[in-house]
Chains A and B, each alone.
Chain A
C-alpha cells in the first residue's frame, strides 16, 4: 500500500496528538499529583450512618488552614449542607452515598467526582478566593435532583 507523503505527514500529526495528550496528561497526573478522584475504599451502603467517619458528617480542622469535610450524599441533599472556611484553606472531601448514584461538583473549581453507593470518594481543593461556591449534584438521582445543592462559603 503506497501512501502519499501528505498522508504520511497527516498520520504522523495524528500520532503526535495522541502521544502528546498522553505525555501531558500523564505528567500532570503522576508528577504533579493532579490525577482524577479515585477513592479506593469501600463501605456497606446500607450501614453508612453506623460506619465511621460517616456516622458524624461535618467539617473538621485537621491542620493549619487545612480541613476535612466528611460528607454523605442522599436524595436530595448533601450533609453537611453549609460549609464555612477561611480563604486560602485546603479542603479534603471524603464522601459516600446513602442511596443511589450521585455526583458532586463545585462550580468554578475543579471538584467534580462520582459518588456511587458502596464506595468512598475523595477529592481535594484549595479555596483562595472569598465568596459563596455552589455545590451541586451532577448525576441524575431522582425527581428532586435539580434541588440537590449545598454551599461552601469562603471568608
Chain B
C-alpha cells in the first residue's frame, strides 16, 4: 500500500516536473544573471591565479601597485566566495523553481535583493584590495587590520547569502503547506540543507566581522585574536563543504538521469544531506591543530568531529559507483567491468562530474590523512594544503559546476549545446584535469618537503633547502597556464550558451527512483530534529573552547598594517 502511494507520488512529481520544464522565464533570468557574475569572477580570479603561479616560480615579478599578496587576496575571495557563491545561488534557485513549480514572486524578489547585496559587497571588498588597504588574504586574521570598508563589504556579501537562504526556506515551506504529506523533491531537499548549513556556518564569522569593524575604525582598542580565528574557522571549512554538498546534489539528482539511470536510493541521498548538515560546522577546528590555547584532549575530540564528515562522503562513493554499474548493465554492459565502458564518456555533462567524483577519492583521502595530529603537523600551512583544496574545491566542486552549467545555462536560455561545443567542452574539462594534476601534484609534493603556502617568490637567503623546491614551483606555474586556457574556454562556452547557441529545449535532468524502490521514511523531513542535532554538535565542539577563549583571554591586540 505504502509503496503504491509512493509510486503515484513519483509519477505526480515527474508530471509536475515535465509541466514546468523550461523553468519560469522570470526565474531563468535571475539564475542567468547570477551565472554571469559567477563566470566573470572565475575569469578574473583564474587570471590572477596564473599571475600568482608565475610569480611564485620566479618567472615574473608583480608590480608594487598590485603585488603578490593583493593578487592572492583577490584570487581567494573571487574564487572561493564569489564564483562559488553566485553559482550556488543561481543553480539552487533554478532547481527550486524547476522542482517546486516556480519561485514565489516574493522569493524571486529576494533573489534579486540577494544579487544586489552580493554585487555591492564584492565591489566594496575588491576596491579596498585594489587600493592596497586590504592585503589580508581570504582569512583576514586579526590583528592584521584591513580598512573597515573591507569588512563592511563582507557583511554585504553575507547578508546577500542570508536573503537567498531565507528565500529558499520560504519557498520550500510554502510548497510543504500546499503539498501536505509529500516529500519535498530531492533537489529542493538538498537546497534546504545547503542553505541551512550556509546560514548557520556564517553566524560565527559574522560575529567576528562585526567586532572587527569598530576595531578597524579605531572605536575599540583591541580584539581577541584567538576568538576571531576560531570563529573564522567555524565558517571557513563549513563554506568549502557547502560547495561540496552543492556538487553532491548534482551527483545524486542530475547525473543518474544524464547517464540514463535511476537514483540509487532516495533515503540514502537524504541521509547524506542531513548528516553533512548536522556534522559539519565543528569540522573547521582541524585548521587549528597546531594552535596554542587549546588542550590536546579538546583537539583530539575535534579530530573525531572532522573525520566523521568523511562518513557521508564514503556513503556517496558507494552510491555513485553502484548507480553507474546499474546504468551500465542496463545498457548491456557484461562481465565484471563491461558496464564501465557503457557510460556516456563523450557527453561532457557526464564526463565533468565523473572526473570530479573520481578526484574526490585522492582528495578526500588526503583530507582524512591531514586531519590527524601528527600528519597535520607535517603539512600545516605548507603548499600540501593548497594542493589539497585545489583538488577538492578546484576539481571536485569546480568541474561539477562546469558540468552543471553545460546543461543548466542552455536550459535557462532556451538554447541547445551543439555537438561541436560539446567537443570543445570535453577538451576544456580534459585541459582542466591535466592542469590541476600538474599544479596540485607539484603542490602536494613540494609541500611535503616544507614549502610554505601563501608566500611570494623567495630563496630565504639562498637556503639550500628552499632552492630544492624550485623545479616543483615551475610545475605549479605550468599547471596554472593550462588552467587559465581552460578557464577562458569555459567562460566563452558559458556565454555562448547564454546568448549565441541555437534556440531549442534543453532538459533539466532530474533522476527518478527505481520502480521497486522502498518508500523514503517520513522522518527524513524532520528538519527541526536535524537542526537541534546540528546545534548540539556545534555546542559539543565549540562551547568549551569559546568560553575558555573569552574567560581566559590574554589582553587583546591593537590593529596592525604590515603591508
Contacting pair A117 B293 (CB below 8 A): no
Q: Which residues of B contact A26 (CB under 8 A)?
A: 300
Q: Give me 21 A-to-B residue pairs in the complex whose CB atoms sit less than 8 angstroms apart, sorted by A's number.
A: A1-B518, A4-B322, A7-B318, A15-B311, A21-B371, A22-B307, A28-B374, A36-B376, A45-B225, A45-B554, A45-B555, A103-B452, A105-B452, A107-B450, A112-B380, A113-B292, A114-B292, A117-B143, A136-B466, A142-B562, A147-B460
A24–B375 Cα distance when bound, in Å, is 11
Encode A119-154 as 1/0 by CB contact (under 8 A) with B.
Answer: 111100000000011101111111111110101000
A33 to chain B, nearest CB (A): 10
Contacting pair A38 B295 (CB below 8 A): yes
Encode B451-465 as 1/0 by CB contact (under 8 A) with A.
Answer: 011111110110111
Cβ of A37 within 8 Å of any chain B Cβ, yes or no, is yes
20 additional A-B pairs beyond A46-B555, A142-B562, beta carbons within 8 Å, are: A1-B518, A1-B521, A10-B318, A17-B310, A17-B368, A18-B368, A22-B304, A25-B372, A35-B299, A36-B299, A38-B299, A44-B554, A45-B225, A46-B557, A46-B558, A103-B380, A105-B452, A136-B452, A140-B137, A143-B135
The A interface is mostly helix, strand or loop, or mixed, namely mixed
A67–B295 Cα distance when bound, in Å, is 24
Residue on A nearest B521 in the bound complex, by CB: A1
A25–B194 Cα distance when bound, in Å, is 31
Encode B376-387 as 1/0 by CB contact (under 8 A) with A.
Answer: 111011100000
Cβ of A70 within 8 Å of any chain B Cβ, yes or no, is no
Q: Given known contacts A29-B373, A140-B69, is B293 in contact with A134 (CB within 8 Å)?
A: no
A118–B552 Cα distance when bound, in Å, is 11
Encode B31-69 as 1/0 by CB contact (under 8 A) with A.
Answer: 000000000000000000000000000000000000101
Tell me which of A39, A75, A138, A143 contacts B67 (CB under 8 A): A143
A110–B368 Cα distance when bound, in Å, is 19
Q: Given known contacts A75-B562, A101-B229, is B555 in contact with A38 (CB within 8 Å)?
A: no
B108 to chain A, nearest CB (A): 37
Tell me which of A2, A10, A43 contacts B314 (CB under 8 A): A10
A137–B295 Cα distance when bound, in Å, is 23
Cβ of B219 within 8 Å of any chain A Cβ, yes or no, is no
Within 8 A of B (CB), among A1-60: 1-2, 4, 6-7, 10-11, 13-15, 17-18, 21-22, 24-26, 28-30, 34-40, 42-46
Residue on B nearest A1 in the bound complex, by CB: B267
Contacting pair A143 B381 (CB below 8 A): no
A29 to chain B, nearest CB (A): 5
Contacting pair B374 A134 (CB below 8 A): no
Cβ of A115 within 8 Å of any chain B Cβ, yes or no, is yes
Q: Given known contacts A21-B307, A75-B562, A149-B463, is B374 in contact with A110 (CB within 8 Å)?
A: yes
Cβ of A99 within 8 Å of any chain B Cβ, yes or no, is yes
A15–B69 Cα distance when bound, in Å, is 41
Contacting pair A132 B464 (CB below 8 A): yes
Interface size class of A (residues with CB under 8 A): 35 or more
Contacting pair B318 A35 (CB below 8 A): no
Tell me which of B265, B291, B292, B518 contacts A120 (CB under 8 A): B292
Encode A80-124 as 1/0 by CB contact (under 8 A) with B.
Answer: 000000000000000000011101010110101111111111100
Contacting pair B560 A100 (CB below 8 A): yes
Q: Which residues of A contact B556 (CB under 8 A)?
A: 45, 118
Contacting pair A107 B465 (CB below 8 A): yes
Tell me which of B67, B296, B317 contacts A35 (CB under 8 A): B296
A124 to chain B, nearest CB (A): 12
Residue on A nearest B469 in the bound complex, by CB: A107
A34–B300 Cα distance when bound, in Å, is 12
Q: Given known contacts A11-B315, A136-B452, is B377 in contact with A99 (CB within 8 Å)?
A: no
Q: Which residues of B contact A121 (CB under 8 A)?
A: 292
A10–B307 Cα distance when bound, in Å, is 16
Residue on A nearest B556 in the bound complex, by CB: A118
Q: Given known contacts A7-B318, A134-B460, A141-B144, is B466 in contact with A118 (CB within 8 Å)?
A: no
Tell me which of A28, A35, A38, A149 contacts B461 (CB under 8 A): A149
Cβ of B290 within 8 Å of any chain A Cβ, yes or no, is yes
Residue on B nearest A43 in the bound complex, by CB: B554
Q: Given known contacts A14-B311, A15-B311, is B554 in contact with A143 (CB within 8 Å)?
A: no
Residue on A nearest B72 in the bound complex, by CB: A140
A68 to chain B, nearest CB (A): 17
A88 to chain B, nearest CB (A): 21
Q: Which residues of B contact A147 (CB under 8 A)?
A: 458, 460
Q: A-B pairs with the 4 shortest C-beta distances? A: A142-B562, A42-B554, A118-B554, A146-B458
Contacting pair B225 A101 (CB below 8 A): yes
Q: Which residues of B contact A40 (CB under 8 A)?
A: 292-293, 295
A92–B267 Cα distance when bound, in Å, is 53
Contacting pair B465 A140 (CB below 8 A): no
Contacting pair A18 B310 (CB below 8 A): yes
A139–B463 Cα distance when bound, in Å, is 19
Residue on B nearest A99 in the bound complex, by CB: B560
Residue on B nearest A123 in the bound complex, by CB: B290
Contacting pair B292 A25 (CB below 8 A): no
Cβ of B166 within 8 Å of any chain A Cβ, yes or no, is no
A145–B314 Cα distance when bound, in Å, is 39
Residue on A nearest B229 in the bound complex, by CB: A116
Q: Which residues of A contact B455 (CB under 8 A)?
A: 138, 140, 145-146
Contacting pair A112 B377 (CB below 8 A): yes
Q: Which residues of B contact A45 (CB under 8 A)?
A: 143, 225, 554-557
A27 to chain B, nearest CB (A): 11
Contacting pair A143 B562 (CB below 8 A): yes
Contacting pair B373 A34 (CB below 8 A): yes
Q: Which residues of B contact A4 (CB under 8 A)?
A: 322
A11–B322 Cα distance when bound, in Å, is 14
Q: Which residues of B contact A75 (CB under 8 A)?
A: 560, 562
Contacting pair A25 B300 (CB below 8 A): yes
Residue among A15, A37, A107 with the most chain B CB within 10 A? A107
A153 to chain B, nearest CB (A): 12
Q: Which residues of A contact B563 (CB under 8 A)?
A: 142-143
Within 8 A of A (CB), among B463-477: 463-466
A150 to chain B, nearest CB (A): 9
Q: Which residues of B contact A13 (CB under 8 A)?
A: 314
Residue on A nearest B225 in the bound complex, by CB: A116
Contacting pair A118 B555 (CB below 8 A): yes
